[in-house]
């Protein structure tokens, strides 16, 4: 009979530990970083910042990848670029924009002319 009580106690303790682990994992997921963007006006166009928990981690005043360091022509382009970066971060990928990403954001003539 003592063995049965011992086994029941061990199973109950294991269940409590498992529930505690699941709860802690759930709570950790609730605390995940908030990732936001802020689009801002620059002299000749638009740029964006990426913020993690309200701390700026990326400041992008010009179109990445293109050699001439010009800003995005419209607020919408800067916003789409920022949203692409946020999606990459949330997916665990590097936040770099590629030429392929920019082809979806910028009009073809801006890509061809380097703006």
Distance from C-alpha of 72 to C-alpha of 64, rounded to nearest angstrom: 10
> Span 9-29, mean pLDDT?
58
Q: What is the pLDDT of residues 33-74, one digit of tens each?
A: 899 999 999 999 999 999 999 999 999 999 998 888 999 999
Q: Where are the beta strands (DSSP E) in the chain?
A: 35-42, 45-52, 55-60
At 115, the pLDDT band (50, 70, 90 cuts) reads: very low
Distance from C-alpha of 112 to C-alpha of 115, rounded to nearest angstrom: 7
> Span 71-90, mean pLDDT?
96
Out of 3-17, 21-35, 65-79, the most confident range is: 65-79
Distance from C-alpha of 52 to C-alpha of 110, rounded to nearest angstrom: 30
Write down the pTM of the prediction.
0.68
Q: What is the pLDDT of residues 96-114, one digit of tens each?
A: 999 999 999 998 655 555 5
């Amino acid at each position: 009979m003592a063995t049965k009580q011992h086994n029941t106690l061990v199973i109950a303790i294991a269940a409590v530990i498992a529930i505690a682990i699941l709860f802690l994992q759930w709570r950790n997921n609730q605390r995940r970083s908030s990732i936001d963007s802020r689009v801002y006006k620059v002299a000749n166009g638009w740029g964006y910042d990426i913020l993690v928990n309200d701390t700026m981690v990326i400041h992008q005043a010009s179109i990445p990848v293109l050699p001439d360091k010009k800003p995005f022509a419209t607020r919408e382009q800067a916003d789409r670029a920022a949203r692409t970066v946020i999606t990459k971060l949330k997916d665990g990928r590097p936040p770099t924009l590629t030429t392929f990403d920019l082809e979806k954001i910028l009009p073809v003539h801006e890509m061809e002319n380097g703006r």
